[in-house]
Amino acid sequence: MRFIRDRVLNRELLCGTWLNLGSSMTAEIAATAGFDWVVVDTEHGAGDHESCLHQLQAIAAGSASPLVRIAWNEAPRFKRVLDIGAAGVVVPYVTSAEEAERAVAAMRYPPNGIRGAASLSRAADFGRSFGEYLSSANERLVTVVQIETEQTLDVVDEIAEVDGADVLFVGPLDLSVSMGMPLQFDSPRFQQALARVSEAARNRGKAAGILLNRAEQIEQTVAAGFTFVGLGSDGGVVADGMQRLAVAFEPYKS
């Protein structure tokens, strides 16, 4: 398993992508493409827990760190994906420091958290390296908390202060909807919101993250201080590619 928490907290530029098809094949393709991390999406993605396992197994063929976005900030969801080999968890809709603290506690074994231990898990090499995993997991697993509402911007500094909330990750679509301006990602008001998140992360030694939908956004995003940057998804790439193939026939149709 490839852990990247140290690189995250060093604010190294780390690039990734989203996996929402529930497919182990596209997971393997993404993991071997050169990304630093990939996220298996179990919040809005098509897969279930078993397909999440298959995707994590496929990701092991590449060099990307395997992360999983869970469906909600509930402790059982964390240990389920961590036990099958996630190197980090993306937590949706974190709206307060208390919720961030709850997420971090679910990520960590006692005495620093509430994660239950399982010695025969895939994460612990089916028991062969349980001692090493138990002693190092609290420091090696990365916790990504999503900033997705306008109200959360008012407390983003408090969230950034939570030990273990490693990445403040903007969910751009949800945030834009919450702000009453769906998909208006280039508007000055939305860009100001991004700057607010970036500043909070930088001031407290955390990383600011975001998922982009166009490569043209990368330069501006990196310049704004975001260092944990995703671009696109397997579903988006397939949908766009299939549409391009179909459109290629249109000039020849009567």
User: What residues act catalytically?
Assistant: 44
Q: What is the CA radius of gyration of the chain?
A: 18
Alpha carbons 114 and 234: distance in angstroms, whole number = 33
Alpha carbons 201 and 97: distance in angstroms, whole number = 14
Alpha carbons 23 and 47: distance in angstroms, whole number = 8
Question: Which phi-psi region, left, alpha or beta, contains residue 72 (left: φ > 0; alpha: ψ -120 to 50)?
Answer: beta
Q: Which residues of 46-63 are buried (b: 16+ CB within 10 A; e: fewer)?
A: ebeeebbbbbbbbbbebe
Q: Quick one: tokens of 192?
A: 């100001």
Candidates 74, 69, 75; CA nearest to 88 is 69
Q: Quick one: tokens of 58?
A: 């496929």
Kindly tell me the burial class for residue 178, based on how many C-beta atoms sit within 10 Å of its own C-beta (0-12, 13-18, 19 or more).
middle
The count of other CB atoms within 10 Å of the CB of residue 240 is 11
C-alpha distances in angstroms, 98 versus 65, 104, 162?
27, 10, 9
